[in-house]
A and B are shown apart, each in its own frame.
Chain A
Amino acid sequence: MLELQNISWSTPDGRRVLDDVSLAIGDSGLVAITGPNGGGKTTLAKIIAGIDRPESGRILLDGCDITDLDVTERARRGISYAFQQPVRFKGLTVRDLLGIASPEPLDEAGLCMLLSKVGLCAKDYVDRDVDASLSGGEIKRIEIATVLARRTKLSIFDEPEAGIDLWSFAGLIDAFSELKASGGTEIIISHQERILSIADRIIVIENGRVKEDGNGHDVLGHILHPQRCPSCPAGLKEAFHE
Protein backbone atom coordinates (compact mmCIF):
# COMPACT_ATOMS: atom_id res chain seq x y z
CA MET A 1 0.00 0.00 0.00
CA LEU A 2 2.70 2.50 1.04
CA GLU A 3 6.05 2.55 -0.66
CA LEU A 4 8.95 4.83 0.16
CA GLN A 5 11.66 4.89 -2.49
CA ASN A 6 15.10 6.31 -1.70
CA ILE A 7 13.85 9.01 0.68
CA SER A 8 16.41 11.52 1.91
CA TRP A 9 15.94 14.63 4.00
CA SER A 10 18.33 17.13 5.60
CA THR A 11 17.89 19.98 8.04
CA PRO A 12 18.29 23.53 6.70
CA ASP A 13 21.84 23.57 8.10
CA GLY A 14 22.71 20.51 6.04
CA ARG A 15 22.58 17.70 8.60
CA ARG A 16 21.39 14.52 6.89
CA VAL A 17 18.46 13.11 8.91
CA LEU A 18 17.17 10.50 6.45
CA ASP A 19 19.58 8.88 4.06
CA ASP A 20 18.18 6.92 1.12
CA VAL A 21 15.43 5.14 3.04
CA SER A 22 13.33 2.64 1.12
CA LEU A 23 10.43 0.73 2.65
CA ALA A 24 7.25 -1.02 1.58
CA ILE A 25 4.39 -1.28 4.06
CA GLY A 26 1.38 -3.49 3.37
CA ASP A 27 -2.27 -2.66 3.64
CA SER A 28 -2.85 -4.09 7.10
CA GLY A 29 -1.05 -4.70 10.35
CA LEU A 30 0.87 -2.78 12.95
CA VAL A 31 4.32 -1.57 12.02
CA ALA A 32 6.46 -0.13 14.80
CA ILE A 33 9.33 2.17 13.97
CA THR A 34 11.91 2.42 16.68
CA GLY A 35 15.51 3.37 17.21
CA PRO A 36 17.69 5.83 19.09
CA ASN A 37 16.61 9.43 19.61
CA GLY A 38 17.50 11.69 16.71
CA GLY A 39 17.67 8.76 14.30
CA GLY A 40 15.06 10.13 11.89
CA LYS A 41 11.86 8.35 12.98
CA THR A 42 9.66 11.43 13.41
CA THR A 43 11.00 12.97 10.22
CA LEU A 44 10.08 9.80 8.36
CA ALA A 45 6.54 9.89 9.79
CA LYS A 46 6.14 13.58 8.87
CA ILE A 47 7.31 12.87 5.35
CA ILE A 48 4.70 10.12 5.00
CA ALA A 49 1.97 12.48 6.29
CA GLY A 50 3.08 15.29 3.97
CA ILE A 51 4.12 17.64 6.76
CA ASP A 52 7.70 17.61 5.53
CA ARG A 53 8.76 17.08 1.93
CA PRO A 54 11.67 14.79 1.04
CA GLU A 55 14.60 16.36 -0.76
CA SER A 56 14.81 13.27 -2.93
CA GLY A 57 12.93 10.03 -3.44
CA ARG A 58 9.32 9.09 -4.11
CA ILE A 59 6.31 8.10 -2.01
CA LEU A 60 3.64 5.85 -3.48
CA LEU A 61 0.27 5.16 -1.90
CA ASP A 62 -1.71 2.36 -3.50
CA GLY A 63 0.51 2.74 -6.53
CA CYS A 64 -0.08 6.49 -6.93
CA ASP A 65 2.78 8.92 -6.56
CA ILE A 66 1.85 11.22 -3.68
CA THR A 67 5.30 12.80 -3.25
CA ASP A 68 4.09 16.22 -4.37
CA LEU A 69 0.73 16.13 -2.59
CA ASP A 70 0.36 18.39 0.42
CA VAL A 71 -0.82 17.35 3.87
CA THR A 72 -4.49 18.07 3.08
CA GLU A 73 -4.48 15.91 -0.03
CA ARG A 74 -2.71 13.07 1.72
CA ALA A 75 -5.22 13.23 4.56
CA ARG A 76 -8.03 13.01 2.03
CA ARG A 77 -6.36 9.93 0.54
CA GLY A 78 -6.49 8.17 3.88
CA ILE A 79 -3.44 9.10 5.92
CA SER A 80 -3.90 10.34 9.47
CA TYR A 81 -1.25 11.51 11.90
CA ALA A 82 -1.07 11.90 15.66
CA PHE A 83 1.56 14.45 16.60
CA GLN A 84 4.21 13.71 19.17
CA GLN A 85 3.52 17.10 20.70
CA PRO A 86 -0.20 17.80 20.35
CA VAL A 87 -1.46 21.24 19.44
CA ARG A 88 -3.68 23.27 21.76
CA PHE A 89 -6.59 25.40 20.58
CA LYS A 90 -8.30 28.19 22.50
CA GLY A 91 -12.01 27.89 21.93
CA LEU A 92 -12.15 24.49 20.25
CA THR A 93 -13.58 21.87 22.56
CA VAL A 94 -12.81 18.17 22.54
CA ARG A 95 -16.22 17.68 20.94
CA ASP A 96 -15.36 20.23 18.22
CA LEU A 97 -11.99 18.68 17.47
CA LEU A 98 -13.26 15.11 17.27
CA GLY A 99 -16.21 16.34 15.21
CA ILE A 100 -13.87 17.93 12.68
CA ALA A 101 -11.71 14.81 12.58
CA SER A 102 -14.55 12.36 12.13
CA PRO A 103 -15.84 11.81 8.58
CA GLU A 104 -19.36 11.49 9.98
CA PRO A 105 -21.26 13.44 12.64
CA LEU A 106 -20.49 12.13 16.10
CA ASP A 107 -23.27 11.69 18.61
CA GLU A 108 -22.77 11.38 22.36
CA ALA A 109 -22.36 7.62 22.14
CA GLY A 110 -19.72 7.99 19.42
CA LEU A 111 -17.79 10.56 21.46
CA CYS A 112 -18.03 8.36 24.53
CA MET A 113 -16.73 5.34 22.63
CA LEU A 114 -13.77 7.25 21.18
CA LEU A 115 -12.74 8.84 24.44
CA SER A 116 -13.13 5.66 26.44
CA LYS A 117 -10.64 4.00 24.08
CA VAL A 118 -8.03 6.47 25.23
CA GLY A 119 -9.03 6.21 28.87
CA LEU A 120 -11.09 9.38 29.20
CA CYS A 121 -14.65 9.73 30.39
CA ALA A 122 -16.64 11.65 27.78
CA LYS A 123 -18.86 13.52 30.19
CA ASP A 124 -15.81 15.03 31.89
CA TYR A 125 -14.06 16.04 28.69
CA VAL A 126 -16.28 16.65 25.63
CA ASP A 127 -17.04 20.26 26.47
CA ARG A 128 -13.58 21.19 27.68
CA ASP A 129 -11.42 23.40 25.52
CA VAL A 130 -8.36 21.73 23.98
CA ASP A 131 -6.17 24.34 25.63
CA ALA A 132 -3.66 24.76 28.41
CA SER A 133 -6.18 23.61 31.00
CA LEU A 134 -5.57 20.02 29.89
CA SER A 135 -2.54 18.16 31.19
CA GLY A 136 0.10 16.76 28.85
CA GLY A 137 -1.29 13.23 29.27
CA GLU A 138 -4.88 14.31 28.69
CA ILE A 139 -4.11 16.21 25.52
CA LYS A 140 -1.99 13.34 24.26
CA ARG A 141 -4.90 10.97 24.64
CA ILE A 142 -7.22 13.38 22.85
CA GLU A 143 -4.67 13.60 20.04
CA ILE A 144 -4.75 9.81 19.69
CA ALA A 145 -8.57 9.91 19.73
CA THR A 146 -8.57 12.31 16.75
CA VAL A 147 -6.78 9.68 14.69
CA LEU A 148 -9.10 6.92 15.89
CA ALA A 149 -12.02 9.18 14.91
CA ARG A 150 -10.77 9.48 11.36
CA ARG A 151 -10.76 5.73 10.70
CA THR A 152 -8.35 6.05 7.77
CA LYS A 153 -6.56 3.20 6.05
CA LEU A 154 -3.17 4.41 7.32
CA SER A 155 -2.83 5.79 10.85
CA ILE A 156 0.48 7.14 12.08
CA PHE A 157 1.14 7.69 15.79
CA ASP A 158 4.30 9.46 16.87
CA GLU A 159 5.34 8.28 20.33
CA PRO A 160 1.80 7.79 21.61
CA GLU A 161 3.06 6.55 24.97
CA ALA A 162 4.61 9.89 25.95
CA GLY A 163 2.82 11.33 28.95
CA ILE A 164 0.39 8.42 29.29
CA ASP A 165 0.16 7.02 32.80
CA LEU A 166 0.56 3.32 33.51
CA TRP A 167 -3.11 2.91 34.39
CA SER A 168 -4.22 4.16 30.97
CA PHE A 169 -1.50 2.46 29.02
CA ALA A 170 -3.16 -0.94 28.95
CA GLY A 171 -6.26 0.64 27.45
CA LEU A 172 -4.14 2.27 24.80
CA ILE A 173 -2.56 -1.05 23.88
CA ASP A 174 -6.08 -2.45 23.51
CA ALA A 175 -7.03 0.47 21.24
CA PHE A 176 -4.05 -0.16 18.96
CA SER A 177 -4.78 -3.90 18.92
CA GLU A 178 -8.41 -3.19 18.07
CA LEU A 179 -7.42 -0.82 15.28
CA LYS A 180 -5.09 -3.49 13.93
CA ALA A 181 -7.89 -6.04 14.00
CA SER A 182 -10.18 -3.67 12.10
CA GLY A 183 -7.98 -4.08 9.05
CA GLY A 184 -6.12 -0.79 8.61
CA THR A 185 -2.42 -0.16 8.78
CA GLU A 186 -0.86 1.47 11.82
CA ILE A 187 2.59 2.94 11.91
CA ILE A 188 3.61 3.61 15.49
CA ILE A 189 6.82 5.33 16.40
CA SER A 190 7.70 4.09 19.82
CA HIS A 191 10.36 3.16 22.31
CA GLN A 192 7.89 1.29 24.49
CA GLU A 193 8.40 -2.44 24.81
CA ARG A 194 4.67 -3.11 25.29
CA ILE A 195 3.87 -1.37 22.02
CA LEU A 196 6.72 -3.08 20.22
CA SER A 197 5.46 -6.41 21.58
CA ILE A 198 2.15 -6.11 19.67
CA ALA A 199 3.79 -5.05 16.40
CA ASP A 200 3.62 -7.38 13.43
CA ARG A 201 6.75 -5.78 12.11
CA ILE A 202 9.46 -3.62 13.63
CA ILE A 203 11.71 -1.30 11.69
CA VAL A 204 14.78 0.07 13.44
CA ILE A 205 15.95 3.46 12.17
CA GLU A 206 19.34 4.69 13.24
CA ASN A 207 21.40 7.57 11.85
CA GLY A 208 18.82 8.10 9.12
CA ARG A 209 19.00 4.57 7.76
CA VAL A 210 17.07 1.34 8.17
CA LYS A 211 19.22 -0.76 10.46
CA GLU A 212 16.86 -3.66 10.94
CA ASP A 213 13.49 -4.62 9.54
CA GLY A 214 11.63 -7.78 10.28
CA ASN A 215 9.04 -9.76 12.15
CA GLY A 216 8.05 -8.01 15.36
CA HIS A 217 8.86 -10.89 17.66
CA ASP A 218 12.27 -11.46 16.17
CA VAL A 219 13.37 -7.83 16.07
CA LEU A 220 12.12 -7.20 19.59
CA GLY A 221 14.14 -10.19 20.72
CA HIS A 222 17.23 -8.67 19.14
CA ILE A 223 16.55 -5.32 20.76
CA LEU A 224 16.00 -6.76 24.22
CA HIS A 225 18.80 -9.31 24.01
CA PRO A 226 21.35 -7.92 21.57
CA GLN A 227 24.01 -10.39 22.71
CA ARG A 228 21.96 -13.18 21.15
CA CYS A 229 22.04 -11.51 17.74
CA PRO A 230 25.40 -11.33 16.04
CA SER A 231 24.06 -9.01 13.31
CA CYS A 232 22.55 -6.51 15.74
CA PRO A 233 24.21 -3.09 15.34
CA ALA A 234 26.67 -2.09 18.01
CA GLY A 235 25.24 0.31 20.56
CA LEU A 236 21.63 -0.70 20.01
CA LYS A 237 21.39 -2.27 23.43
CA GLU A 238 22.56 0.92 25.08
CA ALA A 239 20.14 2.96 23.07
CA PHE A 240 17.19 0.96 24.29
CA HIS A 241 18.29 0.61 27.85
CA GLU A 242 19.18 4.25 28.40
Chain B
Amino acid sequence: MNERTEEILKIVSDWKASSCDAYSIREDGKGIAIRSSQHIRIVPKKDRPGLDIFVDDGTKGERLAIPACVTHGGIDDLVYNDFHIGKDCSIDIEAGCGVHAEHGEAARHNGIHHFIIGDGSYVRYIEKHIGLGKGIAKRSIDPVTSAEIGNGSTLEIDSVQLGGVSQAKRTTRATVASSGSFVVHERILTNGDDRAITEFSVDLNGDGSSVDIVSRSVARDESHQAYHSVIKGNARCSGHSECDAIITEHGTVSATPQLDANDIDASLIHEAAIGKIAGEQLLKLRTFGLTEEEAEEKIIMGFLK
Protein backbone atom coordinates (compact mmCIF):
# COMPACT_ATOMS: atom_id res chain seq x y z
CA MET B 1 0.00 0.00 0.00
CA ASN B 2 1.19 3.54 -0.63
CA GLU B 3 1.97 6.15 2.02
CA ARG B 4 -1.31 7.99 1.55
CA THR B 5 -3.28 4.82 2.09
CA GLU B 6 -1.36 4.29 5.32
CA GLU B 7 -2.14 7.87 6.36
CA ILE B 8 -5.84 7.48 5.56
CA LEU B 9 -6.06 4.15 7.36
CA LYS B 10 -4.66 5.71 10.52
CA ILE B 11 -7.48 8.27 10.47
CA VAL B 12 -10.50 6.28 9.33
CA SER B 13 -9.72 2.95 10.85
CA ASP B 14 -7.44 1.61 13.50
CA TRP B 15 -6.88 -1.21 11.07
CA LYS B 16 -4.15 -3.68 11.82
CA ALA B 17 -3.99 -7.10 10.29
CA SER B 18 -3.37 -8.56 13.72
CA SER B 19 -6.54 -7.06 15.20
CA CYS B 20 -8.93 -8.22 12.46
CA ASP B 21 -10.22 -11.67 11.83
CA ALA B 22 -10.96 -10.84 8.22
CA TYR B 23 -10.24 -7.84 6.03
CA SER B 24 -10.16 -6.36 2.57
CA ILE B 25 -8.25 -3.16 1.82
CA ARG B 26 -9.12 -1.20 -1.25
CA GLU B 27 -6.73 1.38 -2.75
CA ASP B 28 -7.60 3.51 -5.76
CA GLY B 29 -10.29 1.15 -6.97
CA LYS B 30 -8.36 -2.10 -6.52
CA GLY B 31 -8.19 -4.63 -3.75
CA ILE B 32 -4.64 -4.71 -2.39
CA ALA B 33 -5.04 -7.07 0.56
CA ILE B 34 -7.66 -9.61 1.43
CA ARG B 35 -7.99 -12.23 4.15
CA SER B 36 -10.89 -14.44 5.13
CA SER B 37 -11.23 -16.11 8.49
CA GLN B 38 -12.64 -19.46 9.48
CA HIS B 39 -16.14 -17.97 9.85
CA ILE B 40 -16.02 -14.96 7.54
CA ARG B 41 -15.44 -15.60 3.86
CA ILE B 42 -14.63 -12.71 1.55
CA VAL B 43 -15.23 -13.47 -2.10
CA PRO B 44 -14.51 -10.90 -4.87
CA LYS B 45 -17.47 -10.41 -7.19
CA LYS B 46 -17.03 -11.57 -10.77
CA ASP B 47 -19.63 -9.42 -12.50
CA ARG B 48 -18.76 -6.02 -10.98
CA PRO B 49 -16.31 -4.45 -8.56
CA GLY B 50 -16.86 -5.45 -4.95
CA LEU B 51 -17.16 -8.31 -2.54
CA ASP B 52 -19.57 -10.91 -1.28
CA ILE B 53 -18.96 -11.41 2.40
CA PHE B 54 -20.43 -14.47 4.07
CA VAL B 55 -20.60 -14.71 7.84
CA ASP B 56 -21.41 -18.19 9.14
CA ASP B 57 -24.32 -18.83 11.50
CA GLY B 58 -23.32 -18.43 15.12
CA THR B 59 -20.19 -16.33 14.47
CA LYS B 60 -19.50 -14.32 17.60
CA GLY B 61 -16.98 -11.64 18.52
CA GLU B 62 -15.24 -11.46 15.16
CA ARG B 63 -14.11 -8.27 13.50
CA LEU B 64 -14.13 -7.49 9.81
CA ALA B 65 -12.44 -4.44 8.27
CA ILE B 66 -13.10 -3.20 4.74
CA PRO B 67 -11.46 0.24 4.46
CA ALA B 68 -11.28 1.96 1.07
CA CYS B 69 -8.80 4.67 0.16
CA VAL B 70 -8.65 6.97 -2.84
CA THR B 71 -5.21 8.54 -2.82
CA HIS B 72 -5.25 10.93 -5.77
CA GLY B 73 -7.46 12.81 -8.19
CA GLY B 74 -8.88 11.27 -11.33
CA ILE B 75 -10.25 8.20 -9.51
CA ASP B 76 -13.95 7.45 -9.47
CA ASP B 77 -14.21 4.34 -7.35
CA LEU B 78 -17.47 2.43 -7.33
CA VAL B 79 -17.74 -0.71 -5.23
CA TYR B 80 -20.58 -3.09 -4.40
CA ASN B 81 -20.20 -4.99 -1.15
CA ASP B 82 -22.86 -7.45 -0.06
CA PHE B 83 -22.86 -8.78 3.50
CA HIS B 84 -24.63 -12.08 4.07
CA ILE B 85 -24.84 -12.38 7.83
CA GLY B 86 -26.02 -15.73 9.20
CA LYS B 87 -28.25 -16.41 12.17
CA ASP B 88 -27.23 -15.76 15.79
CA CYS B 89 -24.10 -13.82 14.93
CA SER B 90 -22.46 -10.95 16.77
CA ILE B 91 -19.81 -9.12 14.76
CA ASP B 92 -18.18 -5.73 14.22
CA ILE B 93 -17.58 -4.35 10.74
CA GLU B 94 -15.35 -1.35 10.08
CA ALA B 95 -15.71 0.44 6.76
CA GLY B 96 -13.65 3.61 6.85
CA CYS B 97 -13.09 5.61 3.70
CA GLY B 98 -10.72 8.45 2.85
CA VAL B 99 -10.41 10.45 -0.34
CA HIS B 100 -7.25 12.40 -1.03
CA ALA B 101 -7.08 14.90 -3.88
CA GLU B 102 -5.15 18.09 -4.34
CA HIS B 103 -5.23 20.45 -7.31
CA GLY B 104 -6.89 19.43 -10.52
CA GLU B 105 -8.97 16.32 -10.98
CA ALA B 106 -11.74 15.26 -8.65
CA ALA B 107 -11.69 12.07 -6.60
CA ARG B 108 -14.71 10.04 -5.56
CA HIS B 109 -15.56 6.92 -3.64
CA ASN B 110 -19.00 5.39 -3.87
CA GLY B 111 -19.54 2.36 -1.66
CA ILE B 112 -22.82 0.53 -2.16
CA HIS B 113 -23.25 -1.81 0.77
CA HIS B 114 -26.10 -4.22 1.19
CA PHE B 115 -26.72 -6.20 4.37
CA ILE B 116 -28.87 -9.28 4.68
CA ILE B 117 -28.94 -10.06 8.37
CA GLY B 118 -30.21 -13.43 9.58
CA ASP B 119 -32.48 -13.85 12.58
CA GLY B 120 -31.15 -13.14 16.05
CA SER B 121 -27.94 -11.46 14.94
CA TYR B 122 -26.20 -8.31 16.05
CA VAL B 123 -24.05 -6.28 13.65
CA ARG B 124 -22.16 -3.16 14.57
CA TYR B 125 -21.08 -1.23 11.50
CA ILE B 126 -18.57 1.59 11.97
CA GLU B 127 -17.94 4.01 9.16
CA LYS B 128 -15.54 6.96 9.19
CA HIS B 129 -15.17 9.23 6.17
CA ILE B 130 -12.68 11.99 5.53
CA GLY B 131 -11.42 14.14 2.67
CA LEU B 132 -7.73 15.05 2.61
CA GLY B 133 -5.40 17.16 0.53
CA LYS B 134 -4.70 20.80 -0.14
CA GLY B 135 -6.17 22.82 -2.96
CA ILE B 136 -9.63 23.01 -4.40
CA ALA B 137 -9.98 19.55 -5.91
CA LYS B 138 -13.42 18.06 -5.41
CA ARG B 139 -13.53 15.13 -3.00
CA SER B 140 -16.76 13.17 -3.00
CA ILE B 141 -18.04 10.27 -0.95
CA ASP B 142 -21.49 8.94 -1.76
CA PRO B 143 -22.20 5.88 0.38
CA VAL B 144 -25.36 3.87 -0.12
CA THR B 145 -26.26 1.44 2.65
CA SER B 146 -29.26 -0.84 2.51
CA ALA B 147 -30.22 -3.49 5.01
CA GLU B 148 -32.71 -6.27 5.48
CA ILE B 149 -32.80 -6.79 9.23
CA GLY B 150 -34.15 -10.16 10.29
CA ASN B 151 -36.38 -11.20 13.17
CA GLY B 152 -34.88 -10.21 16.50
CA SER B 153 -31.75 -8.82 14.85
CA THR B 154 -30.01 -5.50 15.34
CA LEU B 155 -27.96 -3.40 12.97
CA GLU B 156 -26.15 -0.56 14.68
CA ILE B 157 -24.46 1.98 12.43
CA ASP B 158 -21.94 4.43 13.84
CA SER B 159 -21.09 6.82 11.06
CA VAL B 160 -18.81 9.87 11.07
CA GLN B 161 -17.83 12.30 8.35
CA LEU B 162 -14.80 14.07 9.74
CA GLY B 163 -14.58 16.95 7.29
CA GLY B 164 -12.80 17.81 4.06
CA VAL B 165 -15.41 16.06 1.91
CA SER B 166 -16.58 18.59 -0.67
CA GLN B 167 -19.69 16.69 -1.60
CA ALA B 168 -21.41 13.81 0.08
CA LYS B 169 -24.70 12.10 -0.45
CA ARG B 170 -25.36 9.44 2.11
CA THR B 171 -28.31 7.18 1.46
CA THR B 172 -29.45 4.65 4.03
CA ARG B 173 -32.41 2.31 3.61
CA ALA B 174 -33.60 -0.49 5.84
CA THR B 175 -36.44 -2.90 6.37
CA VAL B 176 -36.87 -4.25 9.87
CA ALA B 177 -38.65 -7.50 10.69
CA SER B 178 -40.36 -8.51 13.95
CA SER B 179 -38.48 -7.54 17.10
CA GLY B 180 -35.62 -6.29 14.98
CA SER B 181 -33.96 -2.97 15.56
CA PHE B 182 -32.02 -0.45 13.55
CA VAL B 183 -29.86 2.08 15.38
CA VAL B 184 -27.96 4.86 13.65
CA HIS B 185 -25.63 7.42 15.18
CA GLU B 186 -24.41 9.78 12.49
CA ARG B 187 -22.13 12.79 12.85
CA ILE B 188 -21.22 15.08 9.99
CA LEU B 189 -18.83 18.02 9.91
CA THR B 190 -18.74 20.26 6.87
CA ASN B 191 -16.63 23.33 6.31
CA GLY B 192 -15.58 25.60 3.46
CA ASP B 193 -18.26 25.28 0.81
CA ASP B 194 -18.88 21.56 1.39
CA ARG B 195 -22.29 20.09 0.68
CA ALA B 196 -23.67 17.06 2.49
CA ILE B 197 -27.01 15.37 2.09
CA THR B 198 -28.10 12.50 4.27
CA GLU B 199 -31.24 10.51 3.52
CA PHE B 200 -32.81 7.75 5.56
CA SER B 201 -35.71 5.55 4.62
CA VAL B 202 -36.78 2.89 7.09
CA ASP B 203 -39.69 0.48 6.90
CA LEU B 204 -40.71 -1.02 10.21
CA ASN B 205 -42.52 -4.10 8.99
CA GLY B 206 -42.65 -6.43 11.96
CA ASP B 207 -44.37 -6.25 15.33
CA GLY B 208 -41.95 -5.04 17.98
CA SER B 209 -39.54 -3.56 15.44
CA SER B 210 -37.80 -0.28 16.14
CA VAL B 211 -35.52 2.36 14.70
CA ASP B 212 -33.53 5.05 16.43
CA ILE B 213 -31.73 7.56 14.20
CA VAL B 214 -29.65 10.29 15.80
CA SER B 215 -27.92 12.64 13.40
CA ARG B 216 -25.65 15.37 14.69
CA SER B 217 -24.14 17.84 12.32
CA VAL B 218 -22.00 20.92 12.32
CA ALA B 219 -22.04 23.20 9.29
CA ARG B 220 -19.24 25.76 9.36
CA ASP B 221 -18.10 28.52 7.03
CA GLU B 222 -20.29 28.52 3.89
CA SER B 223 -21.17 24.84 4.00
CA HIS B 224 -24.64 23.34 3.74
CA GLN B 225 -26.21 20.15 5.01
CA ALA B 226 -29.60 18.62 4.40
CA TYR B 227 -31.24 15.88 6.44
CA HIS B 228 -34.19 13.88 5.16
CA SER B 229 -35.66 10.94 6.97
CA VAL B 230 -38.68 8.82 6.25
CA ILE B 231 -39.83 6.31 8.83
CA LYS B 232 -42.76 4.11 7.94
CA GLY B 233 -44.46 2.30 10.78
CA ASN B 234 -46.20 -0.61 9.10
CA ALA B 235 -46.78 -2.68 12.23
CA ARG B 236 -46.75 -2.37 16.03
CA CYS B 237 -43.43 -0.60 16.22
CA SER B 238 -41.54 2.38 17.57
CA GLY B 239 -39.48 4.87 15.63
CA HIS B 240 -37.43 7.86 16.68
CA SER B 241 -35.36 10.22 14.62
CA GLU B 242 -33.42 13.20 15.88
CA CYS B 243 -31.52 15.80 13.93
CA ASP B 244 -29.38 18.16 16.01
CA ALA B 245 -27.31 20.68 14.15
CA ILE B 246 -24.94 23.48 15.05
CA ILE B 247 -24.36 26.19 12.51
CA THR B 248 -21.42 28.58 12.66
CA GLU B 249 -20.39 31.53 10.47
CA HIS B 250 -22.58 31.24 7.35
CA GLY B 251 -23.30 27.51 7.55
CA THR B 252 -26.83 26.36 6.76
CA VAL B 253 -28.78 23.20 7.60
CA SER B 254 -32.21 22.00 6.60
CA ALA B 255 -34.08 19.10 8.17
CA THR B 256 -37.15 17.47 6.68
CA PRO B 257 -38.42 14.51 8.64
CA GLN B 258 -41.31 12.39 7.51
CA LEU B 259 -43.19 9.95 9.68
CA ASP B 260 -45.78 7.62 8.19
CA ALA B 261 -47.84 5.73 10.76
CA ASN B 262 -49.54 2.98 8.75
CA ASP B 263 -50.58 0.93 11.76
CA ILE B 264 -52.65 1.99 14.76
CA ASP B 265 -49.91 0.70 17.08
CA ALA B 266 -47.05 2.51 15.38
CA SER B 267 -45.41 5.06 17.68
CA LEU B 268 -43.16 7.49 15.83
CA ILE B 269 -41.29 10.56 17.05
CA HIS B 270 -39.08 13.12 15.40
CA GLU B 271 -36.99 15.81 17.08
CA ALA B 272 -34.96 18.50 15.36
CA ALA B 273 -32.93 21.35 16.77
CA ILE B 274 -30.81 23.64 14.62
CA GLY B 275 -29.00 26.72 15.82
CA LYS B 276 -25.76 28.35 16.77
CA ILE B 277 -23.88 27.41 19.92
CA ALA B 278 -25.72 28.74 22.97
CA GLY B 279 -24.06 31.76 24.53
CA GLU B 280 -24.28 30.21 28.02
CA GLN B 281 -22.31 27.18 26.86
CA LEU B 282 -19.50 29.40 25.60
CA LEU B 283 -19.64 31.44 28.79
CA LYS B 284 -19.41 28.36 31.00
CA LEU B 285 -16.26 27.13 29.26
CA ARG B 286 -14.81 30.63 29.32
CA THR B 287 -15.11 30.55 33.12
CA PHE B 288 -12.56 27.74 32.88
CA GLY B 289 -10.15 30.13 31.15
CA LEU B 290 -10.85 29.14 27.54
CA THR B 291 -11.13 31.79 24.85
CA GLU B 292 -14.38 31.94 22.91
CA GLU B 293 -12.74 30.17 19.97
CA GLU B 294 -11.33 27.41 22.20
CA ALA B 295 -14.71 26.99 23.87
CA GLU B 296 -16.45 26.71 20.49
CA GLU B 297 -14.00 24.04 19.37
CA LYS B 298 -14.52 21.99 22.54
CA ILE B 299 -18.29 22.18 22.18
CA ILE B 300 -18.22 21.16 18.52
CA MET B 301 -15.78 18.31 19.06
CA GLY B 302 -17.87 17.03 21.95
CA PHE B 303 -21.06 17.33 19.93
CA LEU B 304 -19.55 15.30 17.09
CA LYS B 305 -17.73 12.80 19.27
Given contacts A87-B280, A87-B281, contact A96 B288 (CB under 8 A): no
Q: How far is the CB of A126 from chain B (nearest CB, A)?
A: 14
B244 at the interface (CB under 8 A from A): yes
Please measure, in the bound complex, the distance between the C-alpha atom of A96 and the C-alpha atom of B280, giving whole angstroms. Answer: 17
Q: How many residues of B contact A (CB 8 A)?
A: 21
Q: How far is the CB of A47 from chain B (nearest CB, A)?
A: 14
B289 at the interface (CB under 8 A from A): yes
B45 at the interface (CB under 8 A from A): no
Q: Are A75 and B302 in contact (CB under 8 A)?
A: no
- The secondary structure that dominates the A interface is mixed
A162 at the interface (CB under 8 A from B): no
**Set A76, A86, A90, A91: member contacting B289, Cβ < 8 A:** A76
Q: Are B303 and A91 in contact (CB under 8 A)?
A: yes
**Set B278, B285, B288, B304: member contacting A91, Cβ < 8 A:** B304
Q: Are B289 and A72 in contact (CB under 8 A)?
A: yes
Q: How far is the CB of B225 from chain A (nearest CB, A)?
A: 17
**Chain A interface extent, by class:** 20 to 34
Please measure, in the bound complex, the distance between the C-alpha atom of A51 and the C-alpha atom of B304, giving whole angstroms. Answer: 28
B299 at the interface (CB under 8 A from A): yes
B290 cross-chain contacts in A, Cβ below 8 A: 72, 100
B299 cross-chain contacts in A, Cβ below 8 A: 89, 91-92
Q: Which residue of A lies closest to B246 (CB)?
A: A90
A141 at the interface (CB under 8 A from B): no
Q: Are A100 and B298 in contact (CB under 8 A)?
A: yes
Given contacts A72-B292, A100-B298, contact A91 B287 (CB under 8 A): no
A71 at the interface (CB under 8 A from B): yes
A101 cross-chain contacts in B, Cβ below 8 A: 288
Interface centre among A87, A91, A100 (most CB of B within 10 A): A91
**Set B216, B244, B286, B302: member contacting A96, Cβ < 8 A:** B302
Given contacts A87-B278, A87-B280, A92-B298, contact A100 B303 (CB under 8 A): no
Chain A, residues 47-91, CB within 8 Å of chain B (1/0): the string is: 001010000000000000000001110011000110100110111
B276 at the interface (CB under 8 A from A): no
Interface centre among B216, B287, B298 (most CB of A within 10 A): B287
Given contacts A76-B289, A100-B290, contact A91 B216 (CB under 8 A): yes
Q: Are B284 and A90 in contact (CB under 8 A)?
A: no
Please measure, in the bound complex, the distance between the C-alpha atom of A93 and the C-alpha atom of B283, giving whole angstroms. Answer: 17
Q: Are B302 and A91 in contact (CB under 8 A)?
A: yes
A34 at the interface (CB under 8 A from B): no
Chain A, residues 134-146, CB within 8 Å of chain B (1/0): the string is: 0000000000001
Q: Are B298 and A80 in contact (CB under 8 A)?
A: no
Q: Are A75 and B288 in contact (CB under 8 A)?
A: yes
B134 at the interface (CB under 8 A from A): no
B291 cross-chain contacts in A, Cβ below 8 A: 72
Q: Which residue of B lies closest to A93 (CB)?
A: B302
Q: How far is the CB of B94 from chain A (nearest CB, A)?
A: 22
Please measure, in the bound complex, the distance between the C-alpha atom of A70 and the C-alpha atom of B292, giving whole angstroms. Answer: 11
Please measure, in the bound complex, the distance between the C-alpha atom of A93 and the C-alpha atom of B287, giving whole angstroms. Answer: 18
Chain B, residues 123-140, CB within 8 Å of chain A (1/0): the string is: 000000000000000000
Given contacts A87-B280, A90-B244, A91-B216, contact A80 B287 (CB under 8 A): yes
Please measure, in the bound complex, the distance between the C-alpha atom of A96 and the C-alpha atom of B285, giving whole angstroms. Answer: 11
Q: Tell me which residues from 182 to 200 in chain A have a Cβ below 8 Å from any Cβ of chain B.
A: none
Q: Are A75 and B287 in contact (CB under 8 A)?
A: yes
A93 cross-chain contacts in B, Cβ below 8 A: 302
Chain A positions within 8 Å of B, measured between CB atoms, are 49, 51, 70-72, 75-76, 80-81, 83, 86-87, 89-93, 96, 100-101, 146, 150
Chain B positions within 8 Å of A, measured between CB atoms, are 216, 244, 278, 280-281, 283-292, 298-299, 302-305
Given contacts A75-B287, A91-B305, 19 further A-B contacts (CB under 8 A): A51-B283, A51-B287, A70-B286, A72-B286, A72-B290, A72-B291, A75-B289, A80-B288, A86-B284, A87-B278, A87-B280, A90-B244, A90-B302, A91-B304, A96-B298, A96-B302, A100-B285, A101-B288, A150-B288
